Amino acid sequence: MKRTPIGMLALLLILALLAGCSSKSTDQVTEEFAWNAAATDMEAPGETYAAAPAATGGNLSLESNSANGSTTIPQADVNRKLIKNVWLTAETEDFDGLMAGVTSRISQLGGYVENQEAYYGSAYRNSGSCRADLTIRIPADQLANFVSQVSEISNVTSSRESAEDVTLSYADTESRKKALETEQDRLLELMEQAETTEDLLAIESRLTDVRYQLESAASQLKLYDSLVSYSTVYLTVEEVQKLTPVQELSTWGKITTGFRENLQTLGDGLLGLLVFLTAGLPYWIPLALLALLCSFLIRRHRRKKQAAQPPQENRSHTAPPEA
């Protein structure tokens, strides 16, 4: 009975060493997989890549060979995990109509609006244009369709797209999750065989740590699945009075467009002046009355000053009599 605790502690030590070797082997497999993935574009479609041997003596890959126990990764069967993001800036002359159209198409394609901020203008700031910033989640297989539909119902002035390949990170996390599940099963078996409180506490402590890491890996995989299955579109909608021309204008087109814009600018300036004068009537009327009063007082003062002065005698110089 005295040898039992020592035997259990030895088993725990061996199990910890195996877990460390498994983690090291997983990193080696990940590096080998990254090297193979980087060389994908330089190899023929029919070639395959052998994975690095694992700690248990087998091979790790996406497809196994039942004949000799080895595994290979056919290039055509590699399932890439891509996180796609798109940034769009769209103009419209009908803000409410475009927002309704975008919302309708999001629902039709199975997406949803994750975040939305809208600005509807302010007459006090001399800015009546509306603007909206939306964060949209769209199924990855409908991303191109959604971008095309937005371009049809609005004037897209800028667009940008990015794709982040998380295949290696996903494979590493998935391998780590499987290793943790295997270690959890072994710990549960050892817990049933434990005969002392000391062994039971040691196993429970390690099991708690393994379960925490297992939940973290599972959460990371769910996050990857969500980001891969649903692409993110950052859409900015701006209301303008005139849409930006997409195509390059000819010389005559530039002349006519500039003439129309100058006329519109002149009209807007005259209209703004009229609005300024009309809106300032509460100030102009008192100022005008004050100016009339000042002018009346000044003229009255001049008349009084002239009336108070004595009349000047006309001094006529008579010519001397002729001889």
How would you class 48 by CB atoms within 10 Å of its CB: exposed for 0-12, middle for 13-18, buried for 19 or more? middle
Between 250 and 180, whose confidence is greater? 180
pLDDT tens digits along 88-137: 999 999 999 999 999 999 999 999 999 999 988 765 555 568 999 999 99
C-alpha span between 257 and 243 (Å, rounded): 12
pLDDT tens digits along 262-316: 877 787 788 888 887 888 888 888 888 888 888 888 888 788 777 777 666 555 5
- Tell me the whole-structure pTM to 2 decimals: 0.56
Determine contact, residues 102/235, Cβ cutoff 8 Å: yes
- Reply yes or no on whether the pLDDT at 321 is more than 70: no
C-alpha span between 150 and 145 (Å, rounded): 9
C-alpha span between 95 and 236 (Å, rounded): 12
CA proximity to 189, closest of 174, 206, 165 = 206
Where do the domains of the chain lie?
Answer: 1-78, 80-251
Q: What is the pLDDT of residue 299?
A: 84
Between 274 and 254, whose confidence is greater? 274
